[in-house]
Structure 1
Amino acid sequence: MATQDYTFRGWLGFDANSAQGNLVEAEFTPKAFEETDVDIKITHCGICGSDIHTLRSGWGQTDYPQCVGHEIAGTAVRVGSRVKHIKVGDRVGVGAQASACLKPDCYDCANGDECYCPKLVGTYGSKYPDGTKSFGGYADYTRVSGHFVIQLSDISLPSHLVAPMLCGGVTVYSPLKRNGCGPGKRVGIVGFGGLGHFGVLFAKALGADKVVAISRKANKRADAEKMGAEYIATDEDENWEQTYAGSLDLIVCTVSSPNMPLQGYLSLLRTHGTFIQVGAPEDKLPAISAFSLIGRGVKMVGSLIGTPREIREMIELADRKGVRSWVNLWPMSKVNEAVVAFGEGKPRYRFVLVNEKHAEMPTEV
C-alpha cells in the first residue's frame, strides 16, 4: 500500500482516572512511517496488567494521552520495503516491544536479546528517538518496527487465542525456556491469574515432570487441575511451607504484590534451584533473609517479556501442542467495562478485546 488510507483512532486515557473505565475514543498521530515499519489493522488486543498500571500512573507518571494494549493481532496493511518476512495481507501480531536500536555494537541486540536493549521502545508508553510517542492496541491501527512483527499466517490457532500470548504468554515462556524447564524439572508458578495460567500451560507443554500452581486462595484449584497442575493455596493450606519445602527446581513468580510471602516461596526450592520474578509491583519486593539464598545455593533472578524469536517459538509450540489461552472476549466498544472488570479480578484468565470494525466475535472460545 503506497499511501495511507486509514485513520489511527483508539481508546485513550487522559489521566489516572482512565483506569476506572474513563477511556475516550479519539484519533492519535503515530510515528512517521519508515521503510522498516509495518502498519497493522487490529482485530484483537489482549488486556494486560501493564495496561492498568500505566493508565493509573502506577509505575510512575504516565505521559497522557495514552493508548495502551500490547497483545495485538491483526492484518498487515502497509509494509516497508526493508521488511522481508511480512507482506500486505498477512495475519500478524506484536507484543510489548515496538522498537530497539538493533545496532551491531549494542550488546543486547547483537546477542538476540532485543527486549533488554537500553533503547527499547514499548508498544505504548514510550518515545521513539524522534520524540514521537508510541501508541498501543486498544485501537483500529498501530505502527511498529517490522523486526518486532510476528508472522501468524501459517499458525492454526485463532487470533483471539494468540493475542494474549504475545505478552502474557512469552513473559513466562521466556524464563521457563531459558532456565531449563523440561523433562526432569519440577516447576512452581506463583500467582494463578493471567500470567500464571500461561505459566502452567507452557511448563506442561515444555514437558516438566511436575507443575504446581501457587495462589492465595483455593477457589482456582479445579482450574489448575484441569490444566494438569497441582495446587497450593497459601492462605488456606496449613503448613504449606514445610509440606512442600525443597520440592521445586524452578519457580516463576507472576505476583505484583509487595506483601507476598517471598521467604516462604524461596523455601520451596531445591538446592541450586532458581526463583524468577516477572511480576512488577508498584512498590518494593518484600525483604528476605540472605540465608534464604545462601542456605541452599538458590538463585533469584528477573525476566522481562521476550524476544521476537522467543515469541514465534512459543506460538509454534502452542500450535503444535494444542495450548489454548483461557480467554473472555469483549467487544472493543465496551473496553471501559472490560477495564473495570479486569481491575476487579474477573478474568478467567485473560481478557481479549475484539475490534468489531475488523473482526467478528467468535461463536466459540
Structure 2
Amino acid sequence: MRVGKNVKHVSIGDRVGVGAQALSCMQSDCPECSSGQENHRGRAFVQTYAMPYPDGSGNSYGGYADYNRTPGHFVFQIPEGLASAVAAPMLCGGVTVFSPLKHNGCGPGKSVGILGVGGLGHFGILFARALGADRVVGVSRKSSKRQEVLSLGADEYIATDDDENWASTNARLLDLIINTVSSSKMPLTDYLSLLKVGGTLIQVGNPDGGSLPQLNAFTFIVNGIKFGGSCIGSPADIREMLELASKKQLKPLIEERPMEDANDVLVDMGKGLARYRYVLVNSRNL
C-alpha cells in the first residue's frame, strides 16, 4: 500500500472508502470542479467501474479486487463511529439521496417524501430524518413495507397499490420529494400532485433508456413546482454525509456476504431479494 506524496488527509493504516466517482478534472477554471460540483461531469469524469483514466495510466478497476488505485481527492476517511459495512453502501447509494436532500432544503419546517423505498429510498428515509425534517413520508407500492418504513424513521407511509385515491388524498402534502423510482411507467403526474405550491421533486432513479412518462406543462404552471435531477454527490457531500451518519448512528438495512459469493449476490439482486443493500466482505483483508 502507498499514499502519494501530495496526499495529506489520509495515511497508511487509515480506514478509507471510495465512492462511485474516481476522478474529475479538478482544474481551477472548471466551473463544476471549482464550485464543489465535481459530481456533475465537468471536463473529465471517471467512474470507479472500469473506466479509463484520461492520462492513459490505466482503468479504475478495484470493486472486486484486493487493492484499488484512486486519486486522493476521491478517497474518504471513515469516521471512527461508523462500521465499514455501514459506510460502504453510503458512498454511492447513500450520497445519491443525501446530496439532493441537503441541497434542496431538507430540514426543520419541511415535509419530505421519499418515492420508492428500496436500496436508495431507505437511505432517503434515514437521511431526511437525520437532517431534521419535520415530516418524513415514505411512498412505495405495497402495504407490506409499512412497518419497515416506519421503523426507519418515517412518520407516514403511502402504499400506492392499495389505495386508488392515494394521490388526491395526499395532494399538496410535501415541500420536497426525492424520487428513486426507475420505472418509465411510474405515475409521475400523480407524484407531482403530492407537492405543495412551490415544491420540488428531484429525480435520482434512472429508467432504462432514460425516458420519463410524458408530462403536461400545466402541472408545473398551476402549482409553481420545480422538477430537477441529481447525480451521486460531491466529495464535500460525502464527507458531510459520513460525519452525520456517524453522529446520528444511522443503521441502514444491509446484508453482509462473502466476496466469494459475488456471483450469487448478483443473482439474488436480480430476483429482488436485497433488503436493502448487499455488502461484499473481503475476508482476506480484514
| TM category, shorter | over 0.9
Letter in 2 for 1:241: A
* Secondary structure class of the residue paired with 2:201: strand
CA distance in 2, matches of 1:260, 1:136: 34
Letter in 1 for 2:189: Q
Letter in 1 for 2:205: G
Partner of 1:323: 250
CA distance in 2, matches of 1:155, 1:187: 30
- 1:187 corresponds to 2:112: yes
* Secondary structure class of the residue paired with 2:228: strand
CA distance in 2, matches of 1:280, 1:231: 23
Gaps of 5+ in 1: 1-76, 360-365
What's the CA shift for 1:79? 0.5
CA distance in 2, matches of 1:342, 1:224: 20
What's the CA shift for 1:216? 1.2
What are the superposed Cα offsets for residues 123-159 of structure 1, whole Å, 9 maximum, x if unpaired?
114221134322241221111110000012x421110
- 1:292 corresponds to 2:219: yes
Partner of 2:277: 350
Whether contact under 8 Å (1:155, 1:316) holds in the other structure is no
Whether contact under 8 Å (1:162, 1:325) holds in the other structure is no
- 1:114 corresponds to 2:38: yes
CA distance in 2, matches of 1:324, 1:92: 19
What's the CA shift for 1:352? 0.4
Partner of 1:104: 28
Q: Counting helix residues as a fraction of each chain, which structure ranks higher?
A: 2
Partner of 1:253: 179
Partner of 1:268: 194
Letter in 2 for 1:190: L
Change (3 A) 1:216 1:118: farther
Partner of 1:332: 259
* Secondary structure class of the residue paired with 1:328: strand
In structure 1, which of residues 171, 175, 181 is the aligned counterpart of residue 100 of structure 2?
175
Letter in 2 for 1:208: A
* Secondary structure class of the residue paired with 1:311: helix
* Secondary structure class of the residue paired with 1:182: coil
Partner of 1:88: 12
In structure 1, which of residues 130, 138, 144 is the aligned counterpart of residue 64 of structure 2?
138
What's the CA shift for 1:347? 1.2
The aligned runs of 1:1-365 (5 Å cut-off) are 77-116=1-40, 117-131=42-56, 132-152=58-78, 154-229=79-154, 230-283=156-209, 284-359=211-286
Whether contact under 8 Å (2:81, 2:247) holds in the other structure is no
RMSD: 1.0
CA distance in 2, matches of 1:86, 1:316: 16
CA distance in 2, matches of 1:237, 1:196: 20
Please, what TM-score do these two structures have when normalized by structure 1? 0.76
CA distance in 2, matches of 1:331, 1:177: 33
Letter in 1 for 2:104: N
* Secondary structure class of the residue paired with 2:283: coil
What's the CA shift for 1:238? 2.7
Letter in 2 for 1:269: L
What's the CA shift for 1:309? 1.0
Letter in 1 for 2:266: V
What's the CA shift for 1:328? 0.7
Percent identity between the aligned chains?
57
* Secondary structure class of the residue paired with 1:78: coil
Aligned structure 1 segments of 4 or more residues deviating by more than 3 angstroms: none
CA distance in 2, matches of 1:164, 1:275: 24
What are the superposed Cα offsets for residues 312-332 of structure 1, whole Å, 9 maximum, x if unpaired?
101111111111121011100
Whether contact under 8 Å (2:81, 2:249) holds in the other structure is no
Gaps of 5+ in 2: none
Which stretch of structure 1 is more off in the superposition, 164-173 or 320-329? Answer: 320-329
CA distance in 2, matches of 1:198, 1:228: 11
What's the CA shift for 1:165? 0.5
Letter in 2 for 1:167: C
Letter in 2 for 1:173: F
CA distance in 1, matches of 2:158, 2:275: 18
CA distance in 1, matches of 2:234, 2:5: 23
Letter in 2 for 1:171: T
The number of equivalent residue pairs is 282
